[in-house]
Structure 1
């Protein structure tokens, strides 16, 4: 018999924008995993299996990514957050109130910040993994060059997953990158009221340590942790250290 996890797949539409949610696990905690630009929920394949023994884990494809259709236009970080929040409201309506942990990777960290700031009643804790993008580096060309330098030493698995998802992101990928660049996460962070964990790969070229510290300090209740010897795509290459940091963070709360 196979020990492969069983997933429930759901499509949810809010104001013309559709996301796909994949759920596994059980428990009082509810983890919501939000991917980066050009990626999809498959980026969390390993992390899901490392958290689903302590809670329900929901990984989403944001509108226009993964298996979702393109919306009428590219959504801003705030609009993506509103879609996620509408889905969360629907998911938790009428049942027990879980502890909701919203986790975002890369661009997903910007969306997660907006969910926590705009819909604080839906978020109990925040995890930002490799959060982008710092002031002074909001250029698509600069970020692409950083990404190339970061990925070069990564494993074939990381490169294969990234290549597949970037192709699926479609012809609007550049417009999606621009939506990331105009967002100001340092401003949104000051509006967040829940405890937060910021995780940075020690070798993450896209997320300089100075920026990770600045963002952590902008959050009212946050701590910064580093994963040694890893870069921006640490969760794809080896999600174990990230899962351990999340468990430790939640155990203290």
Structure 2
């Protein structure tokens, strides 16, 4: 692949943008990675999409080759950053957004607020909506939250506080480092009010073995926006949907963007 890396500089922040493809080929695919990942997580899937339009892959601020944002950001600020970067680079429609996990959150904000001229949005393992959990999971989650809140009153150097963080915090939380305040804002982001405002065609893809973002979230999404298409791929989880399921995912994408390809 002929990569064209470019560092975009905004107001006090910057972001690495990779472009693949020449000329005015359409559509332009925008690949938005998940939390803790970077643009390269899409490489297996992108290999199956070569020859279709242009491709723009981004390292969100704080990931890959992009430095962290100047302060804790929420999802809306990430959406504004991406829109500003693509607009300033002259990357315009028709755009097709392909997001995974956190990248789905950003895409929903972009679409609902009409920040970019999206013609289709593909959301893989989309989080951000409350859903009905089994009772035992609800009890465990409530207990964890109570303990974590109680731990906050302990002194920062108190050994028990660090131990509780290690035992009860998610892998993302433990590995977030300087991005932890941003992660907290991201996890608090509820997409319920934004989903009905999405105008572009939207396709959801979930692995039925995904326990981080189960297909139940996709069903809630469809209830909020009935025109949404939902695909459940058998035997794949939160990460293997990007790799082992790439042939199924690329087929779904190809079938839905045929009319946009030039």
* Displacement after TM superposition at 1:252 (Å): 6.4
Return the alpha-carbon distance in structure 2 between the equivalents of residues 181 and 229 of structure 1.
26
Give the conservation status (yes or no) of the 8 Å contact 1:192–1:220: no
Q: Partner of 1:247 in structure 2? A: 254
Q: Which has the larger radius of gyration?
A: 2
TM-score normalised by structure 1 residue count: 0.79
| 1:189 aligns with one of 180, 189, 195 | 195
Return the alpha-carbon distance in structure 2 between the equivalents of residues 91 and 48 of structure 1.
21
**Could you say if the C-alpha distance between residues 15 and 216 of structure 1 is closer, same or farther in structure 2, counting changes exceeding 3 Å?**
farther
* Displacement after TM superposition at 1:122 (Å): 2.2
Q: Partner of 2:37 in structure 1? A: 39
| 1:200 aligns with one of 206, 211, 219 | 206
Q: Partner of 1:89 in structure 2? A: 87
Q: Partner of 2:237 in structure 1? A: 231
Return the alpha-carbon distance in structure 2 between the equivalents of residues 60 and 207 of structure 1.
22
TM-score normalised by structure 2 residue count: 0.76
| 2:184 aligns with one of 158, 161, 178 | 178
* Greater than 3 Å deviation, 4+ residue runs: none
Give CA-to-partner distance per residue, 1:175-196, whole Å, 9 cap, x none. 2321221111122111111110
| 1:9 aligns with one of 5, 8, 17 | 5
Return the alpha-carbon distance in structure 1 between the equivalents of residues 26 and 259 of structure 2.
16
Gaps of 5+ in 2: 145-171
Give the conservation status (yes or no) of the 8 Å contact 2:34–2:100: yes
1:1-253 pair list within 5 angstroms: 5-26=1-22, 27-92=25-90, 98-135=93-130, 171-219=177-225, 221-233=227-239, 234-251=241-258
Secondary structure at 1:127 match in 2: strand
Return the alpha-carbon distance in structure 1 between the equivalents of residues 62 and 194 of structure 2.
23
Secondary structure at 2:14 match in 1: strand
Give CA-to-partner distance per residue, 1:77-105, whole Å, 9 cap, x none. 00000011111212336xxx531011210
Secondary structure at 1:39 match in 2: coil
* Displacement after TM superposition at 1:41 (Å): 0.7
**Could you say if the C-alpha distance between residues 121 and 72 of structure 1 is closer, same or farther in structure 2, counting changes exceeding 3 Å?**
closer
* Displacement after TM superposition at 1:49 (Å): 1.7
Secondary structure at 1:172 match in 2: helix
